[in-house]
């Protein structure tokens, strides 16, 4: 069977385990003790502003280029940080975080590279004052159209040298149909601004309207020619709340499932030919890039905000809708931007809307996810969950564990669903 036929055979709804946190239902609970610093922590900052609405996108965004909007948001971020420092629950944790180099600093969005220069300046001042020991690693999302030397300089000042560009497809007609107006010239210009110490990756989507196997064969040249360290190859997820925009901006007729998997197969062929190796959940690593050594040594880690050559430790999230994961707790901020701004800038209250303490079962399953995705292994006693054919194709038996084969990595969703009893 081809990879397309096998994926169709195993296609199933339910959790893809591609996103963080893995908890499917949150039970509201307050921490029973102050958060304690375990030696590793990272900071995620959500910057929601975009220049245009791309109709494939389900992220928490706001269309605005106004300096006033951007500065108001940075003011709210700073207010949120001050509340965390003053909180009995997180205050000691934040102070200890500040006393060490940050494991990683991540900008997500939205499109961080559209942030107004005045707001960039305020963000830089804030972070430099609050992170006196700097960072070990950093990653930001960006768009090819809005990426500038000024934004790159901001990132370099903070220690961010990895850039994840939203490309989605190399065909201008296909991207224009989903209201993303970019050209190969835009992509090449953005990549040309990078220094030798920078690393670049791109997002590509399979299943967009008008994508064909023939159009995806055109990906081979840019994938071979562009200096890319990774590619995140995502399936299009059609979500109900975007339907009005999707129908207004272009033709949003989606391919049937067999054709969609044929597109995936075509993309995998193009990536393989360009010397990329599949890591997990559609993330491909260049064998010539800076993340490949971490992949070989089984240190490469995957989070909703990207790929990292090491574990991020605990994660503090700032901004509208931001998630935090500290110890055994997940927390999330209010998801509506106007409410987030009003809560912080007018009322001076925390934007936190829910807190969930993970159960022992959830903690254990999180370990299974980490072992399967990052280390590519499974406990040997789980072999009975799989058929003889699956055992042969998906695993390589070792002395006291199962190694997930390169082919098996395409079926991580199914493997984890089986472990969860789904």
Of 357, 372, 398, which marks where a domain is finished?
357
- The answer for residues whose C-beta is within 8 angstroms of residue 74's C-beta and 6 or more apart is 119, 122, 123, 126
Q: Is the model's pLDDT at 18 over the cut of 80?
A: no
Tokens standing for residue 218? 């055109």
Of 357, 380, 411, which marks where a domain is finished?
357
Shared domain check, 399 and 298: no
CATH of the domain at 172: 3.80.30.20
For 19, phi then psi, to 5°, come to -120, 160
What is the per-residue pLDDT for 336? 96
Mean pLDDT of 256-281: 95
H helices of 87-217, in order, are 91-98, 117-130, 149-158, 172-177, 184-192, 213-217
Of 342, 357, 372, which marks where a domain is finished?
357
H/E element, 355: strand 352-357
Tokens standing for residue 399? 């002395």
Radius of gyration of the chain (CA): 21
Residue 22 included in any domain:
no
Shared domain check, 213 and 160: yes
Shared domain check, 367 and 218: no
What is the per-residue pLDDT for 161? 97
Residue 7 included in any domain:
no
Tokens standing for residue 101? 């180099």
**Host domain of residue 388:** 360-419
Residue 10 included in any domain:
no
Q: Is the model's pLDDT at 240 over the cut of 70?
A: no
Mean pLDDT of 53-59: 87
Q: Is the model's pLDDT at 119 over the cut of 60?
A: yes
Residue 4 included in any domain:
no
Shared domain check, 51 and 102: yes
Shared domain check, 393 and 287: no
Residue 387 included in any domain:
yes
Shared domain check, 402 and 317: no
What is the per-residue pLDDT for 21? 56
Shared domain check, 312 and 220: yes
Shared domain check, 67 and 145: yes
Number of domains in the chain: 2
pLDDT digits (tens, 9 = 90+) for 163-201: 999 999 999 999 999 999 999 999 999 999 999 999 999
Residue 2 included in any domain:
no
Q: What band does 344 get if pLDDT is binned at 50, 70 and 90?
A: very high
What is the per-residue pLDDT for 175? 95
What is the per-residue pLDDT for 28? 74
Q: Is the model's pLDDT at 20 over the cut of 60?
A: no
What is the per-residue pLDDT for 156? 98
Shared domain check, 377 and 330: no
What is the per-residue pLDDT for 274? 97
Q: Is the model's pLDDT at 140 over the cut of 70?
A: yes
pLDDT digits (tens, 9 = 90+) for 127-137: 999 999 999 99
What is the per-residue pLDDT for 1? 66
CA 235 to mean position of chain CA atoms: 14
- What pTM was computed for the model? 0.94
Shared domain check, 127 and 102: yes
Q: Taking the chain, what is the end-to-end CA distance rounded to the nearest angstrom?
A: 24
Q: What band does 366 get if pLDDT is binned at 50, 70 and 90?
A: confident
Q: How many CB atoms lie within 10 A of CB 269?
A: 16
Shared domain check, 153 and 76: yes
Residue 258 included in any domain:
yes
The SS3 assignment for 333 reads strand
Q: Is the model's pLDDT at 114 over the cut of 80?
A: yes
Residue 19 included in any domain:
no
Shared domain check, 399 and 277: no
Tokens standing for residue 234? 């995502």
Q: What is the 8-class DSSP label of residue 104?
A: E
Nearest partner of 358 among 317, 321, 330, judged by Cα:
330
Computed over every residue of the chain, the mean pLDDT equals 92
């Amino acid at each position: 069977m081809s990879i397309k036929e096998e994926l169709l055979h195993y296609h199933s709804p339910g959790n893809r385990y591609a996103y963080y946190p893995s908890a499917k239902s949150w039970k509201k609970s307050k921490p029973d003790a102050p958060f304690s610093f375990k030696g590793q922590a990272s900071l995620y900052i959500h910057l929601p502003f975009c220049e245009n609405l791309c109709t494939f996108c389900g992220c928490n965004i706001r269309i605005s280029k106004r300096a006033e909007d951007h500065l108001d948001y940075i003011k709210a971020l700073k207010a949120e940080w001050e509340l965390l420092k003053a909180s009995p629950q997180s205050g000691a944790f934040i102070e200890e975080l500040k006393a060490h180099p940050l494991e990683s600093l991540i900008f997500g969005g939205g499109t961080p590279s559209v942030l107004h220069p005045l707001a960039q300046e305020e963000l830089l001042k804030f972070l430099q004052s609050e992170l006196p020991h700097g960072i070990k690693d950093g990653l930001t999302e960006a768009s090819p159209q809005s990426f500038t030397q000024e934004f790159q300089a901001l990132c370099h000042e903070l220690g961010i040298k990895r850039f994840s560009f939203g490309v989605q497809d190399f065909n201008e007609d296909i991207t224009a149909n989903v209201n993303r107006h970019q050209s190969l010239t835009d992509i090449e210009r953005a990549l040309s601004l990078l220094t030798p110490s920078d690393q670049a990756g791109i997002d590509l989507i399979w299943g967009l309207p008008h994508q064909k196997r023939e159009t995806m064969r055109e990906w081979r040249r840019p994938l071979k020619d562009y200096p890319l360290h990774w590619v995140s190859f995502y399936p299009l997820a059609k979500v109900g709340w975007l339907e009005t925009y999707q129908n207004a901006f272009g033709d949003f007729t989606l391919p049937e499932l067999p054709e969609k998997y044929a597109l995936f197969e075509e993309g995998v062929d193009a990536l393989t030919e360009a010397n990329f190796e599949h890591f997990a959940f559609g993330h491909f690593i260049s064998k010539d890039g800076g993340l490949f050594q971490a992949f070989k040594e089984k240190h490469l880690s995957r989070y909703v905000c990207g790929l990292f050559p090491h574990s991020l430790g605990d994660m503090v999230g700032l901004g509208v809708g931001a998630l935090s994961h500290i110890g055994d707790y997940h927390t999330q901020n209010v998801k509506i931007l106007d409410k987030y701004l009003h809560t912080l800038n007018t009322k001076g209250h925390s934007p936190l809307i829910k807190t969930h303490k993970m159960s022992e079962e959830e903690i254990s399953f999180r370990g299974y996810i980490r072992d399967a995705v990052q280390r590519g292994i499974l406990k040997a006693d789980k072999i009975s969950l799989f058929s003889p054919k699956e055992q042969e194709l998906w695993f390589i038996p070792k002395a006291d564990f199962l190694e997930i084969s390169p082919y098996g990595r395409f079926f991580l969703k199914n493997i984890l669903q089986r472990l969860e009893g789904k």
